[in-house]
Every structure is written in structure tokens, then in C-alpha cells.
Amino acid sequence: MSAPQHRIDTSPKVSDEIRQTTCYMCACRCGINVHMKDGKVAYIEGNRDHPVNKGVLCAKGSAGIMQHNAPSRLRKPLLRTGPRGSGEFREISWEEAMNTAVGWLTEIHETAPHKLAFFTGRDQSQSFTSFWAQHFGTPNYAAHGGFCSVNMAAAGIYTMGGAFWEFGQPDWDRTKLFMLFGVAEDHDSNPIKMGLGKLKERGARVIGVNPIRTGYNAVADDWVGITPGTDGLFILALVHELMRAGKIDLHYLAQYTNAPVLVDGETGLLLRDEDGKQLVIDRITKKPTPFDQKGVRPDLSATYRHAGVTHRTVMAHMADRYLSPDYSPDAVADRCGVPADRIRAIAADLARVAFDEAFELDLEWTDFRGESHKTMTGRPVSFHAMRGISAHSNGFQTCRALHVLQILLGSVEVPGGFRFKPPYPKPVEAHPTPHGQGRPGRPLAGPHLGFPRGPEDLQLDEKGKPTRIDKAFSWENPMSVHGLMHMVISNAHAQDPYPIDTLFMYMANMAWNSTMNTSGVIEMLTDRNDDGGYRIPRIIYSDAYSSEMVAYADLILPDTTYLERHDCISLLDRPICEADAAADAIRWPVVEPDRDVRGFQSVLIELGARIGLPGFLNEDGSPKWKDYADYIVTHERRPGIGPLAGWRGEDGDQAGRGSVNPDQLDRYIENGGFFVEHIPDNAQYMKPWNMDYQDWAVKIGLFDAPQPFLFQLYVEPMRKFQRAAEGHGDQQPPDHLRDRLKQVMDPLPIWYEPFEQTLVDTDQFAIHALTQRPMAMYHSWGTQNAWLRQLHGKNPLYLPTKLWQQHGFKEGDWARVTSAHGEITVPVAHQAALNENTIWTWNAIGKRKGTWALSEDAPEAREGFLLNHLIHELLPAKGDGLRWANSDPITGQAAWFDLRVRIEKVAAPAEAQPAFDPIKSPVPTGPTTLKWKVGA
């Protein structure tokens, strides 16, 4: 007889109630179930019904409970009392804080709105913050895209109406060969992990191209440890091989891209009819014909001679360029650090899978020319890329090259390939152009950020000077569609192009990890004029946490945590759509703040009304919105179109379009915090050309009219800038920029050497240095998190075997790393799976003493470090009397990854160098031992 067993409760009740909202521990926006016990957050799990994560939760997501309760949370508004950078503040009431901000901002609004520079970091409410700035009338607004991945986004939109991540995703269920380029672990986090899981389950092949083999690259079947900054060359060598072998999708190119469009032999512009439609030669009539005519059969190899000029197709120009031996694998192998045979083998694999393993899906559809098709052709090759290839001075053209490669294979928007997520794809023509001519007391005529079609859209004054403080949309970076946040402080300090009065920032740690040249930026923030006043007179900053930037502001508006606020993850902004559905979501206060803090967007609503911004007042002068929740529900961007697409209309029974529903947020909460509208089956692929998709998109309010378009292998707006540099047109660049513009604004992708290595002695600075964000941290947010700190409490500098052995390093050693700009001394570690000339470290682990409620001897403050000290926002001087920006010359994207360094072994100092004086913390230090129990 067995002994009696104790009864064990294997499923104890973990909560009294579950509240469903959206995670904000990184930018992926997964759905979460927040378990509440005794009114407190007890536990967080993934929401299985949510379209983004389907129940999957990462380490960051589950550690949200520690973020929400972090000791580093700010508690009350603060007004600076000591000098900037001292961290000395006094706590003030919200009334005093708002009166101060309203006083400063009203004066500027009424006299010189351009003296406000309003820039936001990783905020997920850009459609609202840009609306606020537009109504303020300042030209100086952008979010953090300029130092993150604008090259990827801009290159994608100009080429095919969207890029990766929020714009689209691989067809995870059908792809057989997946290549990812330059992707760190956190972009795009759970969806990529889930996708890779699906691929592994089906035995699909994954090729990772990245100098560093960690994370996704560690589970790839093949790893290509490419030399940083040469991805474009590698991709164009693949293009060379595919074109040489004839392994490109000629039908797809002829029907759906501008490959058959005629390029004017004189101007290099595209030939158009009187309605502005691009012209092709019809293989049947042999005549120039608008591309969208019913029955047209565009001829890829046609020539058209007219008035003594021969016009050739885009395809012919591409053949001239990419069949050149300059792009052969043998010609590029050494520079890329990838053997020629390996490049040829990868090209052959791409061709084999795309063409030999092609398949048909029985999905009937009608294209924009009115022709019906019984099936859709699948090409099971897909790509994903992120910041690794875009944060270079040649990043825009590299990203363009990758999009062109996908298109040549015919693998975009087809089964098995890369699929867009609504509201993408959207052609450039569906996006606004930039706006920036403000007048005192008046709003701008349109949004700040847009897509220039040519020199006429630059933001310049009558003397040709930039009108924006970051010099976005100037000849220095004409297509800077996300602005240049990394240049704001240095330009404001230099008073170039003009002095500003107030720098207003949200969630952007510009005095530490979100800036190049960290020490220099700290000096700029604290520098004074001869009269003793600060060079940047006023700084207002909003953050939820005691970050490094707090000490450098004059007025702090403390924000809530993500569990205490309303947010909308909107189709007007950066939604959470899937390739087969439109979706959006909310955050709502699952817990009320226990501190005197307010959601930043609600603060902006009140500021807008009190300053008297036109869009923020009713006709009788009363505030238009009570708070952000009220705005989310009642604001209409166009009639019937608001921030949230779900449960619109008086009865809440309309999707996408519909009048305001006062109960909309309740409906979202009842549904788990999100809304999904599925795309009909026959509209799920070929979206740019599929009239069923176009009609569905109009029905739910993504567009007001169908907008089918051709993918733009040849980007005509670039040719317009290039022509201006050649001397054509009224708008002319300054002479010192002409040669550069002629080179880089090439309408077909090119590769050029990253700028930094053309200016430094590469024998002396022979090593590439990179950063990556870890999967378990989101920028600096994770470093205060008691659980996540256990994963990354410090960050060594990883060295490849060759350098490790060459310098005789052992575990526990330290190295001095020197760039043309500065030096750091840091602990090292060995990593074999690394490009042999590349060193790297995790980003944003290192912390300044006195911040984030960490103790002064925390590992983050003593052994953690930033590579940022080695990177300058300007390139090394080249002897022409000018300092050129360390940015992509097309979009202005910060070229973080062009960094070149040298290393030497040194004796271990007491702590990582440079070490900064501690800042006085506005919050008490967190406990040494954390004990946590919720409920009885």
C-alpha cells in the first residue's frame, strides 16, 4: 500500500483580475495580460489572442513588473536649482510646472515659433506629437528615426512603398530561404523569433549576414561575417550574378516595376505622357504607352528614338551598371571579407529557391490594368534587415540595393516572399511633402516630415539656408525624411543656422547613450554665453525615469510608466498590423500612478490649450480635449478617420471609417486592448497591384482612392537632385556639395566607401567597431531593472580571435580603444564568431554614476561603458576648411557603424574610462537586496 499523498495545488491562483494592454518594454508592442492582486501588478504574461505575439513573451516583457516599480521612477515635477548637470532640483507642483512651461512656450509661439526645437525619442505617439508641433508652428520637430533606421525606411518607401519590420514581414509559413542582414536581437523582437521558429520547424534555410554572430545569427544555418559597411557591395555582387545568369523574374519586372519605363536619353528623367504617367514600349504596338493601360505588354529591352534622342529602359541602364566586372564577386570579395565562391553559391541558392521551387496558389485576382489572373506565383525567398546595414554613410544606397535584389527575384508581395503590412505599401506620392514655413501664432500648412520629390521640396529660406535647426531637407541631406535628432544639440549650440530659445525633448537620453560624442554634447548642454546665460537657454524634458538627460534640463515633466497611461498604437502612426490584417491597439492605465506624475501626451494636450494652439481649442476658446484618452477617441484626422480604427460609428459597428464612438476605449479593453480586421483571402498578396486589396484598403480608410503603383527600381526624385547638382534648374546646391550630390544621388543603387574610412589613416585605425542592442534590454531602460540587470550588468568589448591573439589578451584584461575622435579604456572578452577585423559591445549598458537609482559602485557605472565617446557627429577634418556631418549624405542618418579604431592592451584602471563625476540623483538609490511580494 502506498503512503497517503499530500494534496498539492499545482495551479494556485496568481491573481484576482487580468487586465489586458500593450507591452512597452521594447518597440514590438506585444499584447500582455497583466495579473493584478490586491490592486497591484503581480505577474505579466503574453496575450495568446494578440496578433503580434500570440502569447509569446520575452524576458523584457515579463520583467515589465520591475520597470513599473523601478526605484528610478521620477515622482514629481522638478525645477533646476543648481547648475545644469549638477542634478540639483527642487520638487514643484504641477501647477508651477505647467505655468513655467506655458510662460516659456507662449512667448515663443507668439513671436518666433522656430525658436522651439521639439524632438521626441522612442515615443509611440508620433502622429500626435507631430500634430502638436505642427500647430505650434515650429519647423523644428522630429522623432528619433534620424539616428536609428531612417535609411531603411526611406529607401524602402522610395523603392517599393515600404521596408521591413512595421512595414512588412516574410511569408513565414511559405518562405524556404530567409536572409537577414545587419539585424541585432531587438529589431523586431518576438515576431522574428516566432518566425524563425516556424522556419526551423519546416527545415527552411536561414542565412545571416552580420559581422557579429549572436542572437538570430547564432541560430542561422549559414553565417556570413561580412566586413562592416560593405553590405551594399555584397548585395550588388549578388545582383551581378543573378543578372549574368538570367535568374531574374522578367515577367514580374515588366508588369509591376519601372524596369520597362523609358529613361529620357537627355535628362535622365522618366518619360511620361501628358497626364504624368510613366511610359513603356508596348511589345504588341511597339509604341510608347502609359504603363497602366489595359493589355499593355511592357518591353524590358525596348529603345525609343525620338527627335534625335535615344531613350532606353531602366532595365537597360541596370544591365549596363550591374553586369560590369566592378560588381563581380571576384572584384568585391576582399573588400567584403567574403570569398567570391561563397557569393556565387549564395546567388545560386537564391536563384534555385526563387525559380526552381516556385509554386502557384489558387487565388484569383484582378490587377490594376483590369486583367484577371487564376493563380498567384510564389517565390519562397525572403529578406529582413535593420540598423546594421542602414547606420552607415552609404546606408541609404545599401538599403536600396537590398530592396532591388528582392524585386529582381520577384519575391516581394508574392506567396513565400516578403509581404507588406497595411497601411503599406504606399507609394511616395501617397505621402506628404515636408512642411516648415511657420509664422508667429499660426500652424504649419502640413506635417513637418515628408518625402521630397525634388529640390522644390527642400526646406530652405530665400538665401538657401536651412530653415530647420537640424538642417533636415537641406542640400546636406536632401531626403532626411525622419529629421536629424543627433544634430539638434550641436546645431543649437553652434547657433547654426540660428539660435533657439527652448529645447523640448521627450524620452530621448541625449546626454548619454542616444547621442554621438557624449562628452561634447554634455559640454554643449552646459556651455554659457559671455553674459553667463546658457548657450541653449531653456531645456524642458519629459521622462518617466531618472535618466542621464534629466540633470541637463531646467524643467522636468515626469511621465508615467507604460502600465499607468493611455496610448494608441495607431494606423496613422506605427501600427501593429500583420501581412494578412490591419490592426491597432491601446494602452490604458491598468494601475493608477502612486506618484505625482502625468502621461506626457495629456500634458501636451493641456499645454496646447493653455498656449492657445489653434487645433487645441474649440471655437469658444475652451480646451478641445480633456486629456490624451479624449483625443484618441474624438480626434478625426479626416472625416471618419481617427487614431483608432476599431469600433467606430455611434453603435461601434464600423471598422476603419466611421463617426466618433464615445465608448471606443471600452470596446478595445473588452477585446484585450487591440482591434484586428482581416484582409480577404484573394487580397493578401500582390497588394500594390491587386484591386481587391486596393478596394479593401479604401473601404477601411487606409486610402481615400485606390493607389496602385509600380516599384521604383530607378528613383526619379534622386535624379532630380543629381540634375540640380549638374547645374539644371532654379534651385541650386552650394558648390562645395555638387560633386558629392552628383555621386550619391544616383537613381540606381551604388556602393561607395563609408566616409570615415576615406578620411582616417586606415593603417592606424584598421579595426571596425560596432554596438548592438541586446535582446534583453531596450536602450537604457533595462539597466535599472532588477531582473534584466542580472542578464547584462556590464558590457565587455568583444574581440575576434585574430586580434585577441595578436595583442596577447587574457580573460580579465582591459584595452584602450582609440578613434580619430577620442579614447575609452574598457574590459575585453574573446568571441570567436566575429569578423576578424571587428570589435563590438552591447549598447547602453554603461551608466553614469548617480542616475537610474543605481548605486555609485554598480557594475553598470564602473565596468559598463559606451562606445559613443569614440564617435563624433562630425567627420574628421579633411583640410577643406569645412566639417562634414558624420551622416548619410542622402537622409542624414547617423553613421554610427562607420567607426574605425585601434586597440592596445593596458593595465586595468579602477573603472572604465572616461569616468564622469557623479550626478546628484533626484530619486533615492534603489535597495541593495530586492524583496518583492504582491498579495498575501
- Considering beta carbons, is residue 26 or 686 the nearer one to ligand SF4? 26
Part of the chain binding ligand SF4 (CB under 6 A), chosen from 5-13, 52-60, 176-184, 650-658: 52-60
Q: Give the Cβ contact number of residue 38 at 10 Å.
A: 10
- Least spacing, CB of residue 144 vs ligand SF4, in Å: 17
As a three-state string, the secondary structure of 630-679 is HHHHHCCCECCECCCCCCECCCCCECCCCCCCCCHHHHHHHCCCEEEEEC
- Considering beta carbons, is residue 26 or 710 the nearer one to ligand SF4? 26
- Least spacing, CB of residue 23 vs ligand SF4, in Å: 3
Using Cβ positions, the residue closest to ligand SF4 within the complex turns out to be 61
- Least spacing, CB of residue 60 vs ligand SF4, in Å: 4
Grid cell 580579465 in the structure block, residue: 812
192 near ligand SF4, rule: CB under 6 A? no
Kindly tell me which residue out of 15, 19, 20, 29 binds ligand SF4, with binding defined by CB under 6 A. 29
C-alpha cell at 139: 519647423
- Least spacing, CB of residue 322 vs ligand SF4, in Å: 38
- Considering beta carbons, is residue 29 or 792 the nearer one to ligand SF4? 29
Residue type, 7: R
- Least spacing, CB of residue 188 vs ligand SF4, in Å: 8
844 near ligand SF4, rule: CB under 6 A? no
Kindly tell me which residue out of 15, 19, 28, 78 binds ligand SF4, with binding defined by CB under 6 A. 28
- Considering beta carbons, is residue 70 or 376 the nearer one to ligand SF4? 70
Kindly tell me which residue out of 36, 41, 58, 853 binds ligand SF4, with binding defined by CB under 6 A. 58
654 near ligand SF4, rule: CB under 6 A? no
CA end-to-end span of the chain, whole Å?
38
- Considering beta carbons, is residue 53 or 394 the nearer one to ligand SF4? 53
577 near ligand SF4, rule: CB under 6 A? no
- Least spacing, CB of residue 59 vs ligand SF4, in Å: 7
53 near ligand SF4, rule: CB under 6 A? yes
Phi, psi (deg, nearest 5) at residue 134: -60, -40
Kindly tell me which residue out of 19, 20, 25, 902 binds ligand SF4, with binding defined by CB under 6 A. 25
- Considering beta carbons, is residue 189 or 394 the nearer one to ligand SF4? 189
Grid cell 586595468 in the structure block, residue: 908
Q: Classify 892 as helix, strand or coil.
A: coil
- Considering beta carbons, is residue 30 or 844 the nearer one to ligand SF4? 30
683 near ligand SF4, rule: CB under 6 A? no
Q: Give the Cβ contact number of residue 497 at 10 Å.
A: 18
| Dihedral Cα 508, 510, 512, 513, nearest 10 deg | 60
Q: How many residues bind ligand SF4 (CB under 6 A)?
A: 13
- Considering beta carbons, is residue 60 or 379 the nearer one to ligand SF4? 60
**b/e code 290-323 from CB counts within 10 Å (16+ = b):** bbbbeebebbbebebeeeeeebbbbbbbbbebbe
- Distance, in Å, from the CA atom of 517 to the CA atom of 163, rounded to the nearest integer, reads 29
- Distance, in Å, from the CA atom of 124 to the CA atom of 576, rounded to the nearest integer, reads 11
Question: Are 471 and 458 a contacting pair, CB within 8 Å?
Answer: no
61 near ligand SF4, rule: CB under 6 A? yes
DSSP assignment of 772-818 equals E--TT--GGGGGG-TTGGGT-S--PEEE-HHHHHHTT--TT-EEEEE
Part of the chain binding ligand SF4 (CB under 6 A), chosen from 53-61, 98-106, 321-329, 523-531: 53-61
- Considering beta carbons, is residue 459 or 785 the nearer one to ligand SF4? 785
Integer Rg of the chain from CA: 27
Q: ∠596-23-420 over CA atoms, to 5°?
A: 135
Part of the chain binding ligand SF4 (CB under 6 A), chosen from 23-31, 707-715, 754-762, 850-858: 23-31
867 Cβ contact list (under 8 Å, min separation 6): 769, 770, 771, 824, 841, 843, 899
408 near ligand SF4, rule: CB under 6 A? no
- Considering beta carbons, is residue 57 or 871 the nearer one to ligand SF4? 57
- Considering beta carbons, is residue 26 or 590 the nearer one to ligand SF4? 26
- Distance, in Å, from the CA atom of 936 to the CA atom of 934, rounded to the nearest integer, reads 7
Task: Give the residue among 124, 28, 51, 189 at the shortest CA–CA distance from 578.
Answer: 51
- Considering beta carbons, is residue 585 or 613 the nearer one to ligand SF4? 585
190 near ligand SF4, rule: CB under 6 A? yes
Kindly tell me which residue out of 23, 66, 184, 759 binds ligand SF4, with binding defined by CB under 6 A. 23
586 near ligand SF4, rule: CB under 6 A? no
Kindly tell me which residue out of 15, 19, 21, 30 binds ligand SF4, with binding defined by CB under 6 A. 30
Part of the chain binding ligand SF4 (CB under 6 A), chosen from 56-64, 92-100, 166-174, 423-431: 56-64
Within a 13 Å sphere around the CA of 510, how many CA atoms are in the beta-carbon half? 31
- Considering beta carbons, is residue 218 or 309 the nearer one to ligand SF4? 218
Question: Are 263 and 279 a contacting pair, CB within 8 Å?
Answer: no
189 near ligand SF4, rule: CB under 6 A? yes
- Distance, in Å, from the CA atom of 604 to the CA atom of 315, rounded to the nearest integer, reads 50
Helix (H) or strand (E) holding 584: strand 581-587
Helix (H) or strand (E) holding 189: helix 189-202
Grid cell 480646451 in the structure block, residue: 623
DSSP assignment of 25-49 equals SSTT--EEEEEEETTEEEEEEE-TT
- Least spacing, CB of residue 186 vs ligand SF4, in Å: 8
Within a 13 Å sphere around the CA of 355, how many CA atoms are in the beta-carbon half? 17
- Distance, in Å, from the CA atom of 574 to the CA atom of 596, rounded to the nearest integer, reads 29
26 near ligand SF4, rule: CB under 6 A? yes
Task: Give the residue among 677, 578, 684 at the shortest CA–CA distance from 365.
Answer: 684
Interface residues for ligand SF4 in 361-400 (CB under 6 A)? none
Part of the chain binding ligand SF4 (CB under 6 A), chosen from 57-65, 291-299, 811-819, 856-864: 57-65
- Least spacing, CB of residue 142 vs ligand SF4, in Å: 23
Kindly tell me which residue out of 60, 80, 109, 768 binds ligand SF4, with binding defined by CB under 6 A. 60
Q: Give the Cβ contact number of residue 651 at 10 Å.
A: 11
576 near ligand SF4, rule: CB under 6 A? no
Question: Are 126 and 573 a contacting pair, CB within 8 Å?
Answer: yes
- Least spacing, CB of residue 684 vs ligand SF4, in Å: 24
57 near ligand SF4, rule: CB under 6 A? yes
- Considering beta carbons, is residue 525 or 845 the nearer one to ligand SF4? 845
- Least spacing, CB of residue 561 vs ligand SF4, in Å: 13
Part of the chain binding ligand SF4 (CB under 6 A), chosen from 54-62, 597-605, 682-690, 765-773: 54-62
828 near ligand SF4, rule: CB under 6 A? no
Residue type, 750: I
- Considering beta carbons, is residue 26 or 725 the nearer one to ligand SF4? 26
Within a 13 Å sphere around the CA of 332, how many CA atoms are in the beta-carbon half? 31
- Considering beta carbons, is residue 220 or 777 the nearer one to ligand SF4? 777
Query: Where does this chain bind ligand SF4 (CB under 6 A)?
Result: 23, 25-26, 28-30, 53, 57-58, 60-61, 189-190
